[in-house]
């Protein structure tokens, strides 16, 4: 297994490095339900490629969050499960899910397109929105 870069010294940054990644929270969420094979994880996480999923699983295994068990069968069977360190993230992942549900409407509103400015405002040189009201666009 390749040597992982050292984790950051700041505790919050270290935690985000371990669980940060497009699919890592999804993987943990489903592994909290019990051991899963790679094909099962791909089925419940739509949109992830096998290559990226395997890469994220390997990173999580290297950080001690996920356990990989290979069974000596033909063909070999590989099962992934949440390690004790991964299970300790359950309340954090749950809190992130709760926060996302609680603020879903606000976040959705930020993602809605801004109506174009009227032609009169553009002619007068008035900006469509005050510069202090500009918000970053979120992608879901």
How confident is the model at residue 117, as a pLDDT?
A: 67
How confident is the model at residue 136, as a pLDDT?
A: 43
- The answer to whether the beta carbons of residues 45 and 26 sit under 8 Å apart is yes
For the cut 50, the answer to whether the pLDDT of residue 16 exceeds it is yes
pTM: 0.70
Return the structure tokens found at 66.
């996920």
- Which residue in this structure is represented by tokens 């505790």? 11
Q: What φ, ψ does residue 72 adopt, rounded to 5°?
A: -75, 75
Domains within the chain, CATH numbers bracketed: 11-113 (1.10.10.10)
How confident is the model at residue 45, as a pLDDT?
A: 92
- CA 47 distance to own-chain centroid: 13
For the cut 70, the answer to whether the pLDDT of residue 112 exceeds it is yes
What are the pLDDT digits (tens) for 68-93? 999 988 888 999 999 999 999 999 99
* Average predicted confidence (pLDDT) for the chain: 83
- The answer to whether the beta carbons of residues 84 and 65 sit under 8 Å apart is no
What are the pLDDT digits (tens) for 22-31? 999 999 999 9
Q: What φ, ψ does residue 68 adopt, rounded to 5°?
A: -115, 125
Which of 19 and 9 is assigned the larger pLDDT? 19
For the cut 60, the answer to whether the pLDDT of residue 46 exceeds it is yes
Q: What φ, ψ does residue 80 adopt, rounded to 5°?
A: -105, 145
For the cut 60, the answer to whether the pLDDT of residue 126 exceeds it is no
């Amino acid at each position: 297994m390749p040597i992982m870069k050292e984790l950051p010294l700041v505790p919050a940054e270290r935690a985000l490095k371990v669980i940060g990644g497009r699919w890592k929270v999804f993987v943990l969420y489903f592994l909290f339900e019990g051991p899963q094979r790679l094909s099962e994880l791909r089925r419940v996480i739509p949109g992830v490629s096998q290559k990226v999923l395997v890469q994220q699983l390997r990173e999580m295994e290297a950080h001690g969050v996920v356990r990989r068990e290979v069974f000596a069968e033909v063909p070999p069977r590989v099962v992934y499960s949440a390690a004790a360190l991964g299970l300790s993230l359950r309340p954090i992942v749950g809190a992130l899910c709760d926060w996302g549900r609680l603020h879903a409407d606000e976040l959705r509103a930020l993602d809605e397109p801004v109506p174009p400015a009227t032609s009169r405002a553009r002619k007068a040189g008035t900006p469509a929105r005050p510069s202090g009201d500009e918000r970053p666009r979120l992608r879901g």
